[in-house]
Amino acid sequence: MPGMFGAFNRSLQPALKRARLLSGLRKTQTSWGHNVQFRGCSATSDTFHSHEDSLVIHYGGTQLHFNYVWLRDHCRSASSYNSDTNQRNLDTGSIDLTIRPEHTAVEDGHLVLTWPGGHVSTYSLSWLAENSYERKKHSVLQPRILWNSDIYKNANIPSARWDTFMSCDDELKKFLQNYLLYGIAFVEDVPATVEATEAVAQRVSLIRETTYGRMWCFTSDFSRGDSAYSQLALDRHTDTSYFQEPCGIQVFHCLKHDGTGGKTLLVDGFYAAEKLRQKSPENFELLSRVPIRHDYIENTDKHQNHMTGISPVLNVYPWNNELYQIRYNNYDRSVINTIPHGTVQRWYVAHRELTKELRRPENELWVKLSPGKVVFLDNWRIMHGRESFTGSRQLCGCYLTRDDVLSTARCFGLQA
Ligand SMILES: [Fe+2]
């Protein structure tokens, strides 16, 4: 908004050195300074107000607080920040923790601070607003559409098609948008081979190699010490909950099935968790605070593994309470010995309430995976399971690195 404040250039020289010396690093928010208004192009006036250790800017109807050390740390001048590499040059450890600007001004939609020693920092007000805690605590990092079976079916999300998916970036972008919103996305008409499945996965991201290999391909031969390698039904769960960082994305492709059953169950864990949060915030809070442990212990002739992941069942960002990960795997959940005695009963109650939500029939999306149809799942959100089956069933797939999938999406301009 160039010229927004051009007609009015007020500055503050709070002369607070004496107060600062007296107060040291006290975190008081006593209002002591001037209260200066400057005209904006909107109907409301914008204001900045100097406090002992921070500046308050009234912008767009909101009061935004900026700590002085934070402001110096986030200076975007060439000596402080390399705009080519988007990396900080400034040594944060060298900033005086009692630093205050000697001169404060707003001009042409920018905050201009002059620091002791003469260094000048300039920030656009829109950048400050966008990066303020106040803005972040009211916005989500990743917009999502939570679903039960009807919501998902009624949305009529189209599958991507192999040919266009592999060659057209717009098709990949649409696919990723659907994936981000719903946590699942499909590609159809994929040749029913491990090689084609690998190719379609690599179109999205780097493949995450694990103890199961780069591409895994399993049948009901019990070749690994895991129930997935059987014909048994599997209840809803997230995979690799026993990793410190569970795999972010899972890819499934059923290459062959001569028999009955074996439909795949998909459940939006966030939909169930948000229902729990609405109905019983204290149960949601407990599940998001108390860490528990999952283990994978395998001891066969060919494979020896012992992996451990420790985390709450529900994980939320503390600044906005946005849910970002659910770890729910009753098969792999280990001995509970991280919960104080007085909390164990309440934890089981909370876990039961979440389980009830996860098991509501209306939340279950059943999909028959057939050769050619590849599904991508957000393993931090979507649970999967399957019904039992007969006959020979060959499933292949892989895990993808979450960072790379989200990076691809962001490079397309998608919010993730
Ligand atoms: Fe699984």
Q: How far is the CA of 224 from the centre of ligand 1 (A)?
A: 13
The per-residue pLDDT for 28 is 28
Q: How far is the CA of 289 from the centre of ligand 1 (A)?
A: 25
How many angstroms is it from 267 CA to the middle of ligand 1? 13
Residue span(s) of the chain under CATH 3.60.130.10 come to 149-411
- Rounded to 10 degrees, the C-alpha dihedral 287/289/251/395 comes to -50
β-pairing, 160-161 vs 184-188, is parallel
C-alpha 400 – ligand 1 centre gap (Å): 14
Distance 382 CA to ligand 1 centre (A): 11
* Ligand 1 centroid to residue 226 C-alpha, Å: 10
Q: Domain 149-411: give its CATH code.
A: 3.60.130.10
C-alpha 17 to ligand 1 mean position (Å): 61
For domain 11-136, which CATH number applies: 3.40.1390.30, 3.40.30.10, 3.30.2020.30, 1.10.1050.10?
3.30.2020.30
Tokens representing 112 are: 């201009």
* 239 alpha carbon – ligand 1 mean position (Å): 5
Which residues have CB under 8 Å from 64's CB, separation 6+? 56, 57, 58, 128, 129, 132, 134, 135
* Pairing state between β 374-378 and 184-188: antiparallel
Cα 66 to Cα 133: distance, rounded to the nearest angstrom: 9
| Residue of 65, 209, 61, 50 lying closest to 132 (CA atoms) | 65
Residue 310 CA to ligand 1 center (angstroms) comes to: 18
pLDDT per 10-residue tile (average), the chain, 416 residues = 28 32 29 34 58 94 96 97 96 98 94 97 97 96 98 98 98 98 98 98 96 87 68 94 97 95 96 98 98 94 93 98 98 95 97 98 97 98 95 94 96 97
391, two tokens:
């006959």
Pinpoint the residues of the chain covered by CATH 3.30.2020.30.
11-136
pLDDT at 46: 53
Among candidate residues 365, 376, 369, the one with its CA nearest the CA of residue 406: 376
Q: What is the pLDDT of residue 47?
A: 84
> 394, 219 in Cβ contact below 8 A?
yes
